[in-house]
Each structure stands twice: as structure tokens, then as C-alpha cells.
Chain A
Amino acid sequence: MNISFAESSARARVAHLLDAQSFHEILGPSERIVSPHLALLGVPSSFDDGVVVGRGTLAGQPVLIAAQEGAFMGGGVGEVHGAKLVGLFKRALRDKPAAVIVLAESGGVRLHEANAGLIAVSEVMRALLDARAQGIAVIMLIGGANGCFGGMGLIARCADHVVMSDMGRLAMSGPEVIESSHGVEEYDSRDRALVWRTTGGKHRYLIGDCDQLVEDDVAAFREAAIGLLGQSVPLNLAAMEAEHALLTERLTRFGGCSDALDVWRLAGVPEPLHVADLEASGMHVLKSLTTGELA
């Protein structure tokens, strides 16, 4: 039976993604580790501060896992939320799991504790890269309705692998922020098709911001994650030079485009207008047709 990733809660995603009954939550709700800052502002807190972390197995292999709950403050990163993620990556240095898997769903820094959140995002980034440097694979799964934005969009791109569904969105600034800064002509946040083709999984897959595109099904994310266990991408000068060359090439090829449809056309997609109708399997075929790696 298909279980929609987008429509599931963070806990349900974790439960269905991992091997049955294998998940052990760390600092779960019974520990009542809440944000010390929200109460001061008269804002309700959550007993997990919007992120579930723990250990379990995936296809029998030990993994550490985190899942952000988009229903609580849009998955925003505050002091405790960020510290749980940092702790998980530090734990990975000791446990040496087959992967650290992050089910990212976040608008980025939680504004109510903005300074703590901003610093926490950079701490997560450093802890994540420490884990990667030890050869531990870090896998981002993005398919929640709130997308993965701001600081979390930066963290996601520090991982070894990014897996998205068509429903998932990955970007830096939200369309509303850009619209309020430069006007509706710059970015119409209510134009859902425009927002989707600028931030959505298919565009990210075609230009190379995500490595795998799957259907909106927890089982599909599980299968993708299993395939990536133990697959560490080196973090050395040669790898960073190669990444740099890809990003330079992307800018050269697509820097003049003003819409994703233009990017896709230039990339060799025969019928850009039909991309919206394709299933993930159709996108895999399409990607193999496009000219080379787009970075």
C-alpha cells in the first residue's frame, strides 16, 4: 500500500522508512526537552522541539535518523532542535552507522529564536561535514509539504546524497520573501506552477541539486535510502574541484535563463511543457537523455 511521504507525520515517516519496530527514539517527547525561548514569547512549545532523532536499522544495517516535523513551526530550527541534529551527527562519529539519514522539512531558521537558530544551522553543518569526513554517508530525504528552505537548504546540500519527490521543494529563499522584496513581477508566490518548477523535485533533479527522484511514497524513499547506505562521497580537493567545475558549467549554460522551462529546453528536454505530467520513472529516462551532467 502506498503511504504518502508528504502527508505523513515525522514519526510516521521514520516508522515506515526503517525496518519494522527497529526505531529507538533519543530524547523523545517523554523527556520533555522543550525550547526555553518559545514560552517567553507566549508561543506553544513541543516536547520534541519539532524534530525526531534516534537510531534503528534499514535493511538490517544500523543507521541514525532525524525527521523534522513540518507541522510544528514549519520545521524551523531553534536552539534545541538544532542541538538534537548536532548531537546525532556527533554520535555518528562514535556509532559509525551505515548512514545518517535526515528527513528534512523546514523553512530554515526559527525566527522566534533567530540568533540561536542561525548559529545552530552552522553548527549542524560543521557536525555533518565532520561525519562525512569520517566516511559516514549522510542522506537527505526531502518530500514534505513545507519543503526545505533557508539554512536547512544549505545543510541539505552539504550531504552526500539528496533524494527528493516531485512534491518536495529545495531552495534558499521562499517565494514570498522574494516577492515582498522585489515585487510580484520578480517572483509571483501565488503562481503555483512557477514555484513548483523553480523549487520542486523535478527541476532539482534535472539540474543536479538532487541525485535521485522518487514517487511520493515512503517505500520509494526507503528503497532509495537502502541503495545509498555506506555510499560516502569523498570530501577532498579533487571532489570539490569537480563540484566547482559543475557549478561553473551550470552558470555558463543556464545563467541567461529566466524560467525553468528555458533551462530544461537548453538541457535537451524535448518537451519541457510535459515534464509536469511525468512520473518519477519517466523523469529517470528524461535525465538519461539530457546532455551530460548539469551539475
Chain B
Amino acid sequence: MNWEALLDALFDPNHRVTCTGDLLSGSAEVNGRTVAVVGTTNHAAIGVELALAQAAAVLAVVREHPKRPIILLVDTQGQRLRHRDELLGINHYMAHLGCCIELARRHQHRVIGLVYDQALSGGFITSGLIADACYALPEAEIRVMRLPAMARVTKIDEVRLTALSKTNPVFAPGVENFVAMGGIRALWRGDLQAQLLCALADSSTQDERAFDGAARGGRKLAQTVAERVVKA
């Protein structure tokens, strides 16, 4: 879904979200309640500038609009794969974005992520994945790596990977797999605004993904292993 149609489906008419380059930012109303919107579009590659621009948008909300919920709209091909970004410390810029979102949560902003198009590897970690909860549209694509490339890097036969991916959600691309692993709370179908309202009402500031992953059978060990380390 393109971002204009998405905004129309999520928010009341006359939202004030603008697109500058690949950055989406502004505010909108959900059933009369004002929320902030920060996100990316055009399958954005997250370079230093875009990470910094998103962080600036998040910080502005924390500074100027106490407790206003923040909706992170995710469409990214991942971190920008350029020498210049590495030279300038892209991991620092992206981590800064993640820390700004964490700051917002600690200042009692609800933070909801929505993957509406594409969410790839590193670009997803410091956006949707650091929200209170992240959701996705069924047609969205979430992956770390496609199977042919994964087969090359891991030196595991692609036919074998493909066969295993039918029953195992742990490595293959796909939003359903991320639901099974607990990384995506739920897929949104139908009335998007209604589901956003529910998400805003339900969201917990506790990280519940390992519990979800265990309950859904995709990540059976994460929660118990973490708990054993705490209790040992």
C-alpha cells in the first residue's frame, strides 16, 4: 500500500503528514486523538541523514508534545550500503534513533510500529522493532535475506533451505514467520484505524515478544533461556 492510501486508511481526514525525500513526518488524528507520525517510504535506504532526520522528528515530539503517541511507519530496504555511511558511523546514527525512540517510551509516549511495505534487516531494528509493539500489513515483506543469497552465505543447499522454510519460521522471509517468532504482534486486515485504536489501547511498555514467540511456537527457547539466566 502506498503511504498516501495508508494514511487515509489509518487516520481521520486532513492529516498533517508530509513526505520530504524518503522521510514521512507530521501529525494526524485517530478517532479525534492526535498522534505523531514518523516513518520512511520508497523502500528507503537508511543512511546517516535519514536516521538523524527520524531521530530529530522523535525528539521534537518528546520535547513539544508530551505523551503524544508515536506511529512508526516502516518501509525500508535496510541500512544504506555505502562506504561513506560506514566512515561516518552509520551504526551510531541508527542506534541514536533507537535510543530516541526508547526515550519517548520512557516519557510515556506509546510507540506503535507498522510495516506497511518492506522491512529489511538492520533498517528494521531501530525503527519498528524498538516500538512498544510492531504490526504489519499482510502484503508487507519482512526479511533479513532472500533464500538464494542465504544459501550462498551459509553454504546450505537452496533446495534444502526452501523445503525447510515451509515448516520452520526461523530463517525464511515472510510476515507470517515474524508473527510466529513474536516479532510482529499481529497482521492488520480490514479496518486499519480500528486496529490502530486497539493497538494504542493495548500496548504494553514491557517487551512481550519472547512470550509471544513461545506461545506461537516459533521461538520456543528465547523466553525460558532468558529467565534461566535471571534466576540461576
Interface residues of A (CB under 8 A from B): 26-27, 33, 36-37, 40-43, 53, 79-80, 82-84, 86-88, 90-91, 94, 108-109, 111-123, 125-127, 129, 133, 150-151, 153-158, 170-173, 175, 177-178, 181-182, 186-187, 198-199, 203-204, 207, 209, 235-237, 240-241, 243-244, 247-248, 250-251, 254-255, 257-260, 263
Contacts and interface: CB of A to CB of B under 8 A. Distances in A.
A57 to B, nearest CB: 17
Contacts of A109: 121, 144
Chain B interface size band reads 35 or more
Given A40-B164, A111-B145, A178-B82, A170 B229 contact: no
Nearest to B232: A26
Interface in B126-172: 126, 129-130, 143-145, 150, 153-154, 156, 160-161, 164, 168-172
A86 to B, nearest CB: 4
A127 B207 contact: yes
B207 A26 contact: no
B86 A172 contact: yes
Contacts of A199: 86
Given A173-B79, A186-B83, A251-B52, A204 B144 contact: no
A133 B99 CA distance: 11
A157 B95 contact: yes
B52 A244 contact: yes
Contact of A181 (B49, B81, B150): B81
Given A150-B122, A154-B125, A259-B87, A237 B63 contact: yes
Interface string B53-92: 0011001001100000000000000010111111111111
Contacts of B106: 133, 235
B226 interface: yes
B110 to A, nearest CB: 15
A109 B95 CA distance: 16
Chain A: interface secondary structure?
A: helix
A172 B87 contact: no
B186 interface: no
B83 A178 contact: yes
A87 B122 contact: no
Contact of B229 (A90, A157, A198): A90
Interface stretch (B23-31, B36-44, B213-221): B213-221
A158 B62 CA distance: 19
A136 to B, nearest CB: 14
A111 B154 contact: yes
A40 B210 CA distance: 21
B154 A250 contact: no
Most buried by B among A26, A113, A173: A173
A209 B89 contact: yes
Most buried by A among B99, B106, B160, B223: B99
Chain B: interface secondary structure?
A: helix
A207 B89 contact: yes
Most buried by B among A40, A53, A88: A40
Nearest to A149: B91
Contacts of B220: 36
Given A84-B225, A119-B183, A154 B129 contact: no
A40 B130 contact: no
Most buried by A among B49, B89, B145, B177: B89
B219 A116 contact: yes
Interface in B174-211: 177-178, 181-183, 207, 209-210
Nearest to B167: A40
A119 B219 CA distance: 10
Contacts of A248: 52
Contact of B129 (A119, A182, A207, A255): A119
A155 B62 CA distance: 23
Nearest to A118: B144
A204 B87 CA distance: 9
Interface in B91-115: 91-96, 98-100, 102-103, 106-107
